[in-house]
């Protein structure tokens, strides 16, 4: 269990990530960073700025533009006792290293009984007009791959705690960071226990008794705004945030639906085969007799992300679109 924990008020999401990395590296010399331009430049988003000066070139390593090679090398380093943390410049680029991740790192323990304590940080999501190669939400790619844990925190305190837990976990962890939250979301960091592995978490961010809303990442903030609007109409929405997508903490979702009898899932990823479809199936499998209507999915359409911010904004679920989906669920 880590002893060194940053305690600070009003911490930006991006700074919480930097604190987590720095605290883990100070605590454990086996933690090393890999990624494109992460050393002297500090990475595309400056999260590792100053790390090279403190920890040196052995532990803060620039890599070439070769994601497959980076993940392969990191997997080998993890097997040999290191704890590598890779920064993808953008989550979308993981596709170039897909085989090394889902067929090598994810399955290594089942083939050899060798643990692979590897974390891949994935800056993803839209809202910045960055186009089709820099804006995707690709969590469902990895939720379909056994052997990988998937994290997607919405708040700075979870971002800090779960990044440290991911580094301590003996399994490969895909750690999604939403770029839109980097310099917008603020939360206090308190003296909290850091778990030694990732386990399922479902958090009730707002209680309610008319409808259960499930979301993660940036969309949790949109959902909370929408819940405020619906409260003006006398409709109280219970907002469940999933900072950990795999393993899934299903029980709090089912308990909430038993109370509200209605469910809606909001995610920024495209609709077809998104994680919302799996959640809806699990709710149907285990809680269908408590539902008073079909599960609603409020998602990005099946479309690549446009550069134009206006067009992109029309695709990302807005507060109005979320409220409309909830009214449909309740009707």
The answer to whether 153 and 99 are in contact (CB under 8 A) is: no
Both tokens assigned to 147: 């052997």
Q: Under the phi-then-psi rule, with left for phi > 0, alpha for psi from -120 to 50, and beta for the rest, what region is 237?
A: beta
Q: Report, as residue numbers or ranges, the catalytic residues.
A: 134
> What is the spatial distance between Cα 194 and Cα 1, in angstroms, rounded to a whole number?
6
Half-sphere exposure of 244 (CA within 13 A, CB side): 21
- Name the residue among 223, 218, 230 with its Cα closest to residue 298: 223
- Name the residue among 273, 259, 270, 278 with its Cα closest to residue 298: 270
- Name the residue among 124, 168, 126 with its Cα closest to residue 149: 168
Both tokens assigned to 114: 């060798």
Both tokens assigned to 47: 């999260």
């Amino acid at each position: 269990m880590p002893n060194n924990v940053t305690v600070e008020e009003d911490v930006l999401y991006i700074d919480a990530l930097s604190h987590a990395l720095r605290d883990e590296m100070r605590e454990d010399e086996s933690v090393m960073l890999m990624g494109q331009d992460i050393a002297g430049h500090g990475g595309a988003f400056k999260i590792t700025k100053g790390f090279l000066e403190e920890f040196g070139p052995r532990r803060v390593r620039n890599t070439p533009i070769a994601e497959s090679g980076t993940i392969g090398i990191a997997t080998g380093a993890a097997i040999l006792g290191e704890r590598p943390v890779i920064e993808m410049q953008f989550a979308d680029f993981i596709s170039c290293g897909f085989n090394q991740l889902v067929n090598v790192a994810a399955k290594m323990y089942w083939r050899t009984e060798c643990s692979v304590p590897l974390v891949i940080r994935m800056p993803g999501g839209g809202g910045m007009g960055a186009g089709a190669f820099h804006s995707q939400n690709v969590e469902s790619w990895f939720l379909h791959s056994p052997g990988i844990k998937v994290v997607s925190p919405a708040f700075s305190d979870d971002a800090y705690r779960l990044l440290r837990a991911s580094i301590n976990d003996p399994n490969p962890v895909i750690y999604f960071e939403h770029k839109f939250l980097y310099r917008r979301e603020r939360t206090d960091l308190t003296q909290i226990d850091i778990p030694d592995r990732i386990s399922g978490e479902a958090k009730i961010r707002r209680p309610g008794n008319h409808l259960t809303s499930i979301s993660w990442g940036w969309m949790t903030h949109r959902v909370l705004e929408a819940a405020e609007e619906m409260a003006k109409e006398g409709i109280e929405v219970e907002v469940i945030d999933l900072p950990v997508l795999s393993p899934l903490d299903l029980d709090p979702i089912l308990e909430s639906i038993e109370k509200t009898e209605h469910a809606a899932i909001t995610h920024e990823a495209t609709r077809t085969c998104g994680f919302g479809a799996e959640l809806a199936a699990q709710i149907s499998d285990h809680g269908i007799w408590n539902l008073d209507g079909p599960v609603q999915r409020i998602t990005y359409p099946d479309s690549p992300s446009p550069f134009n911010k206006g067009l992109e904004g029309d695709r990302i679920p807005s507060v109005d679109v979320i409220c409309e989906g909830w009214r449909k669920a309740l009707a």
